[in-house]
Structure 1
Amino acid sequence: MEALRLDWAGSTPRLSAAGAMAEQGLVTTVSSQDGTAVVAGWVGSVRDRMAGARRLLDDFGRRGVASRLPTGDYAAVLVYRDRILLMRDEQARIPLFFRESGGRVSAVSTSARRLGTGAELERRYFCRYLTGNMAQPHSELTPFAGVHRILGGEVVELSITGQMRGRVPRHVREADDLSLPGADGPRFSGAAKDLRLALENAVGRRMGRTTACHVSGGTDSTSVALLAARLLTAGQDRPGDLVLLAGRFGRGELAEEQPYLDEAMEAIRRHVPAAHPMMIDVDDVADFDDFWHHAGDADEPHAHAFRAPFWGRLHAAAAELGCDTLMTGCGADPIADANPLHLHRLARTGQLRQMTKQARAWATGGERGLRDVLSAYVVQPTLPLAAERLTALVRRRGTVLGGLGNFARPRWLRSGFARAHGYREASVAESRFVFGRRPEQSLYDAANYIAAPDPLSWRCARQDGFFLSHPFLDPEVIATMRRLPAEATFHPGRSKTVLREAMADLLPPRILGRTVKIPFDELYARGLRTHGDGLIDLCRSARHPLIAEIFDVETLCRAVREAQLGIGDSYSWDRMNSSLALVVWLEQSDQRSRTLMPVTAGP
C-alpha cells in the first residue's frame, strides 16, 4: 500500500501523500521555511499527529545536532533545501523502501511492490524470509532486486538530487518525559510502580478520539483497556470514545474464555459506562479462510496470513464505528514477564551455582524438567544452529515436521536453492539477531518483531481508517523492563509478577489470578481440516517457476498432511505457514504480471 511517495522530475524532488489516508489522519504533511515532511503514522501522540510531524521536521532541520528519533509508529520523508532524510521509528511498524542504482535513489515509497514493478525477484530475500517469522522486518532485502528496506530506527540521508550520503541508526530515548493525567496512581513497590507509569504513558500516547481495544479476557489486553478507560475518566482535556473489541466463541474449548471476557468487559465499563462493547461472533471463522486474498495481496509474503481472517473480522467491526486507533495487549508475554535468558548471563559470567539454583526454580515453576530449561535458555542460545540440528535428528523419526525449529532448513526447501542463495548465511544472521552476544538483551529486540506481526493492519489501514498499536512494545515500557533485575521479575509458578502487582488495583480478581489462557489451536486445527486439501491442491497446481525452484512441492504437501494430523509444534507449523504464504504470494504475483503483459495482435 502506498501512503507516501518521493520521486524526482529531473533533479527536482516530488513528495506526495495518499489523499484518502491524509483525510483519515493516517498520513500527515507539514511545511516550514526549511522544508516539508510527510509522515505515515504518528509521532509523539496519536491525537497530536500534526504537532508531532512539525516537531520532527524542526528537530532534524538543525544540522550538526544529533537528534534522537522520537517515540511513535511512523515512517517519514523530510525534504529540506539541501538534503532529504528518510526514517522509521525503532519499532518499525510502518514500512518504508527506496529504489537505488549506482548510489542514486530514484524513488521512495511505503510500498515495495510499487517500487519493484518490472524488477527481477531477489532470490536471497526468499532464503532470508524462510529462516523464520522474524526475518523480514530487520533485513534490508526485499522481494525485488534494487529495492531496499529502511530498517527500524534508521535515518537515511540523500542529496537533494537523490545521491546516497549515508545510513545512520538512531535510537529513541529510554524514557519519555510525557506526563499524563492520572499518572500518579496508588503506591506500589518500585518495579511495579515504574511499569505502571510507563504502560500508562504508552497507552496515553496511543489514544485517539475513538479508541478501540482488543479485549480477550487475559491479563495483558484487559490491562491496556483498563488503563485506557482510566485515562478517559481522569482526563477532562482529552474526551473520547472507547470501543471494546472481542471475538465470541459459542462452542469448542475457546468458549471457556467467555466468563473471563465478560468479567473484563464489566470491569472496564465500571470506569467508562459509555464504552461500546463489540462482541463479534467468530464461530464460523477458521485459519486459512480466503488465504489466496490474505497471503497474495500483500506487498511482501506475510508469514501470519493464515490468522488474518479472525483479526480481519474484528477490525472490520472497529472500522464501522469510525475508530482512529486500535490497541492490543500484544507483546506482554516476552516484555512484561521474567526474562528466562537471564540464565544464559549467569552461565556466561561463571555463576554456575546461582544459574543451577535459578534453573531449578524455573523448572519447578513451569512444570518442566531441569534439562529442558537448561537446553532452551543456556545451550540453544549458545549454539543455536547446532542445537536445532541435534533436536531434528532426535525428534524427526521419519516425519517432515518433527524437530523443525526456528533456523534449520525445512526439508521441503530445496538444498540446491538454499546453497545457491545463502540460506545458511541467512540462518546464522537470524540466530544472531534472536540471541546475539547477550541473549537476555536480544530478547527485547526480537520480541518487537515476533510479538506483533501486523502487516494485515498496514495493508487494511486505508479501508479501516486506523493502524494497530501495541503499548507493551513501547520503547519506554521495554526500557523499564530491561532495567529491572531478575529477582524483581521472577517468581516461580507466577507469570508477569510485576505486571500483576502494577495492575492489582484495577484488574478483577479472576483475571488477576489466572495463569493459563486457552490458545488459538482450535482455530488452526479447524482451518487445516477445512482448507488442508485445498492448500495441497494449490501447491501442486502452482505455475510460478520460482515455486518449483524453491520448494520440493510434494514434501511441502506432506508437511500439510502431518500438520492436519497434529504432528509437529508451533515452531514447525510457523515454518510451514510461511512457505504456504510464499507459494500464494508468488502465484498471485505471477497472475498479476501476466494480466499486465502487453498483447501483440496477430497478422
Structure 2
Amino acid sequence: MCGIAGAVWSRPEDAVDRNTLTRMTTAIQHRGPDDYGLLFSSDLEGGQAVSAQCGLGHRRLSIIDLGGGHQPLGNEDGTVWTVFNGEIYNYRELREELIARGHKLATSSDTEVIVHLYEELGPRCVEKMRGMFAFAVWDQRRGRLLLARDRMGQKPLFYRQDGSRLLFGSELKAILQVPGLPREVDPRSIDLFLTYQYVPHPHTIFKGYHKLPPAHVAVFEQGELTVSRYWEPPYAEPAGPPLSPEKWRQELRATLTESVRLRMRSDVPVGAFLSGGIDSTIIAGLMQSQSERPIHTFSIGFPIKEFDERSFARQAAEHLKTDHHEYLVEPSALGMLPKLIWHYDEPFGDSSAIPTMYLSEVTRQVVKVALSGDGGDELFAGYSRYQAVHLAAMSDWLPSPIKSLLGWRMWQQIPTSTRQGAIGRRAKRFIEALSQSPERRYLRWIGIFDQRMRNELYTPEFLQQLDGYDSGEFIHAAYAACPDRDFVTRTTCADVLTYLPCDILTKVDIASMAYALEARSPFLDHRVAELAARMPIELKFQPGRGKKILVETFQDLLPPSIQQRPKMGFGVPIDHWMRNEYRQLLSDLLLSQRSLDRGLFRKEAVERLIQEHLNNRWDHAYRLWNLLCLELWHRVYVDEPVPLHAPEDLLAEG
C-alpha cells in the first residue's frame, strides 16, 4: 500500500521539477512511510527520445518483498516504469507465467509484474490482475502514460489535464502542491455532496480535477487523454446460471475462501477487523481456518451502548478462537476534526469515518495489514433499506392520488423520536417518499438533503450557478446499468456502483492509510462480485432477512446470536454531539460572516435547521454534520494554501 504522484508534459514551461514532485509525495507520505523514490524520464538511458517528459513519485508502505520492491520500478531495459498503490493478489501466478514466457524479473514484488504485463498487453494488462490498485505506467518509447484503477474502486486516483500536461496523485492534496494551480470550487460538486455526503466520480470538488472511476484506464499520449472502462459487474445479465441453492452455496464458499487465501499473502503481520457482524465474522473465520495459529482480530467500542459492538465481537472471537484485541475509545467531538478534514481532501460527510480512523489507529499498533468485511452488504443485500425497497414496490400499484397523499409534507410534523434509525423516524421517511418513482424514492431515502431542502437552503445566486443541474443523474445512471432485474437487485447494483466506491471504500482507504495500515477486502475480489451479481435475489434476500445465502453457507463460522443479529451501523453519536459539544459550534461556524460570505446558503435557512434540531422538532444531525464538514473543508483547502500536514486548529474565526 502506497502513495503515487507524477506528471507528464511536453512544454518546458509546464515542467514539474524535483522540488515540486518531492512536495507532491511529501503530502501523501502517511500512505507510505517506509520508503520513497523519484524518477524523471530525462534521466533514463533506455528507449528512444520522445517529445513528452515524465516525472514519477512514490511513497512506499512495504508489504511484499520488503527489501526489493523499491519504486519507481522498471523493466530490464528501462523503457517501461511504474508507480503502484495497492496489491496484486495473484502476483505469484502471474510471475510464473511471465518467467515461462521469457521475462526476467529482478524482484519478488507484485509491482514488477505490472511492467511486464504491460509489455505484453499494453493497457489491457489490468484484465489479468486480481487485486486493489491504482497505478501509473510510463512507456518511454511511446511517450505514453497509462493510469489504471481497480475494478471495485478500492484505491483512489486523481488527475488534472492542463492542455498538454497531465498531473496525477493518490490524493487530491498531492496534485494541489503544484504551484499556480487554480482552486475554483465547482457548484455542482457542492450540490452532489449535499445530496450524497460525498462527491462522486468522475467529479471532484474543484473544477478541472477528476477522479478516475473504478474499473477504468486512462491513456495520455501526444497530449490527448482517453478514458475507457475495462470491466463491469454482470448485473445486466439474467440471473443464473440455473444452479441449485446447494451448488450456489458451494460456489460461494470456494470463491470467498480463495479470495481470503490470496489476501493473506504478506511479508508482514496480518489481522482482521472484527465487529461481530456477519461479514467481518465470516472473513475472520475463513482466515482462522487457513492459519496454523490464532489470527489477530480487532474491535473498538464506545461508552454509549447503541454504538458499542464489543460484546458481539467478543462472542465471534471466542467462537473462532482468535487472538482478540478490544479497545474502548472516547470519541472526541472536536479533537478528530482537523485530521478528518485534511485527510479526506474533499468534503466527506460519512461520520463513520471517525470510528474507522480510531480502529485503524489501534490496529496498526499490532499489525500492518487488516482484512475487512466491506462489500458484503452491497453484494448480498444486507442493508435494512433493501427491505424498504421491497416493501415500497408493493405500493406502486396504488392510485396516484393516494400516493400523493402519502407523500404530503405534513407527515413530517408527526412527533417521533429524533434518534437516528428510530422506527417512527424511518416510517415517516418511508411514507413521504412513496409518491415518487422507485429510483427517486431510493435517492430520497439515502440522500442527506433532498431536492426541496437544497432549494430552500441555497441562495438565489448559487441556484443560478447550478442552472437546473440534477444531482440524481449519478444514481440514475447506475440503475440503468441493471435494467432488467428485479428492483432490489437493481438497487444493490446501484449501491455497488455508487455508494460502495464513493463512500465506503473512500472512507476505509483514507482512514486506514492515515495510519499506514493496509485494509484488504475479500468480498471485493472481482470473482466474488461477479458471482454475487449473477445470483438470483431470492438466494440473498427475503422479506425481513438479508444476506440469506451468507448465513446458510457459513453458519459453522457464525455463533447463533450473530446469525440472527440485525444490521448495526458503525457510527458515533452525532445527534448527541449536535445538542451538546457542537451546540455552540453550529452557530459559531455555520452562521459566521466568513461562512455566509461564501454565498452558498441563506442565513435564515441555516438558522431554521439549527433551531429545529436543537428544539427536537426534526432530526437534522447528519445534515448539520455535512454543513460543518463543508465549511471546515473550505477553511483548509480554499481559504489558505494547502498544508502538508493536518492543521491543529480549524475553529478559530480569524
With structure 1 as the length reference, what TM-score do the two structures score?
Answer: 0.75
Instruction: Say which of 37, 56, 63 aligns to 2:114.
Output: 56
Residues 190 and 573 from structure 1, CA distance in 2 versus in 1: closer, same or farther, beyond 3 angstroms? farther
1:152-167 alignment, distance < 5 Å: 152-159=214-221, 163-167=223-227
In structure 1, how many angstroms separate the alpha carbons of the residues matched to 2:449 and 2:505?
24
In structure 2, how many angstroms separate the alpha carbons of the residues matched to 1:264 and 1:299?
36
Residues 279 and 479 from structure 1, CA distance in 2 versus in 1: closer, same or farther, beyond 3 angstroms? same
Other-structure match for 2:173: 113
C-alpha displacement of 1:318: 1.3
Which string of whole-angstrom CA distances, capped at 9 and with x for unpartnered residues, describes residues 375-408 of structure 1?
97995325559x95xx99xxxxxxxx9x954896
SS of aligned partner of 2:584: helix
Other-structure match for 1:505: 556
Residues 137 and 221 from structure 1, CA distance in 2 versus in 1: closer, same or farther, beyond 3 angstroms? same
Which string of whole-angstrom CA distances, capped at 9 and with x for unpartnered residues, describes residues 505-557 of structure 1?
2212221233x245456622332232232233122336267x63112245335
- Contact 1:127 1:418 (C-alpha < 8 Å) held by counterparts: no
C-alpha displacement of 1:421: 2.7
In structure 1, how many angstroms separate the alpha carbons of the residues matched to 2:639 and 2:461?
26
In structure 1, how many angstroms separate the alpha carbons of the residues matched to 2:113 and 2:318?
40
- Contact 1:295 1:584 (C-alpha < 8 Å) held by counterparts: yes
Residues 509 and 576 from structure 1, CA distance in 2 versus in 1: closer, same or farther, beyond 3 angstroms? same
Other-structure match for 2:606: 556
Work out whether 1:132 is the aligned partner of 2:178.
no
Other-structure match for 1:535: 586
Unaligned runs of 5+ in 2: 13-50, 96-107, 236-243, 398-422, 645-654
Other-structure match for 2:406: none
In structure 2, how many angstroms separate the alpha carbons of the residues matched to 1:454 and 1:249?
23
C-alpha displacement of 1:444: 2.4
SS of aligned partner of 1:130: helix
- Contact 1:212 1:242 (C-alpha < 8 Å) held by counterparts: yes
In structure 2, how many angstroms separate the alpha carbons of the residues matched to 1:595 and 1:263?
44
SS of aligned partner of 1:468: strand
In structure 1, how many angstroms separate the alpha carbons of the residues matched to 2:496 and 2:395?
22
Instruction: Say which of 41, 55, 59 aligns to 2:86.
Output: 41
1:88-107 alignment, distance < 5 Å: 88-102=149-163, 104-107=164-167
Which string of whole-angstrom CA distances, capped at 9 and with x for unpartnered residues, describes residues 401-426 of structure 1?
9x95489626323343133135x434
Aligned AA (1:222)? T
C-alpha displacement of 1:486: 2.5
Residues 298 and 97 from structure 1, CA distance in 2 versus in 1: closer, same or farther, beyond 3 angstroms? same
Instruction: Say which of 245, 260, 263 aligns to 1:206.
Output: 263
In structure 2, how many angstroms separate the alpha carbons of the residues matched to 1:20 and 1:8?
25
Aligned AA (1:507)? L
In structure 2, how many angstroms separate the alpha carbons of the residues matched to 1:405 and 1:98?
30
Unaligned runs of 5+ in 1: 176-186, 234-239, 270-274, 351-366, 393-400, 597-603
Residues 507 and 120 from structure 1, CA distance in 2 versus in 1: closer, same or farther, beyond 3 angstroms? closer
C-alpha displacement of 1:590: 4.0
- Contact 2:147 2:218 (C-alpha < 8 Å) held by counterparts: yes
Which string of whole-angstrom CA distances, capped at 9 and with x for unpartnered residues, describes residues 135-192 of structure 1?
5242x23233332222211111112x6x1242111116879xxxxxxxxxxx981222
1:260-271 alignment, distance < 5 Å: 260-269=312-321
Residues 20 and 561 from structure 1, CA distance in 2 versus in 1: closer, same or farther, beyond 3 angstroms? farther
In structure 2, how many angstroms separate the alpha carbons of the residues matched to 1:61 and 1:290?
45
In structure 2, how many angstroms separate the alpha carbons of the residues matched to 1:446 and 1:291?
27
The root-mean-square deviation of aligned C-alpha atoms, in Å, is: 4.2
- Contact 1:78 1:84 (C-alpha < 8 Å) held by counterparts: yes
Aligned AA (1:196)? R
1:386-465 alignment, distance < 5 Å: 404-405=449-450, 409=454, 411-422=456-467, 424-436=468-480, 438=483, 440-441=489-490, 443-447=492-496, 449-451=498-500, 452-455=503-506, 457-459=508-510, 464-465=515-516
In structure 1, how many angstroms separate the alpha carbons of the residues matched to 2:641 and 2:548?
53
In structure 2, how many angstroms separate the alpha carbons of the residues matched to 1:593 and 1:65?
36
- Contact 2:173 2:642 (C-alpha < 8 Å) held by counterparts: no
Stretch moving more, 243-252 or 127-136 = 127-136
Work out whether 1:493 is the aligned partner of 2:576.
no
Other-structure match for 1:395: none
Instruction: Say which of 311, 314, 318 aligns to 2:363.
Output: 318
Work out whether 1:333 is the aligned partner of 2:380.
no
Which string of whole-angstrom CA distances, capped at 9 and with x for unpartnered residues, describes residues 91-145 of structure 1?
222222222123x23322223233245413132353353253375242x232333
With structure 2 as the length reference, what TM-score do the two structures score?
Answer: 0.70
- Contact 1:278 1:317 (C-alpha < 8 Å) held by counterparts: no
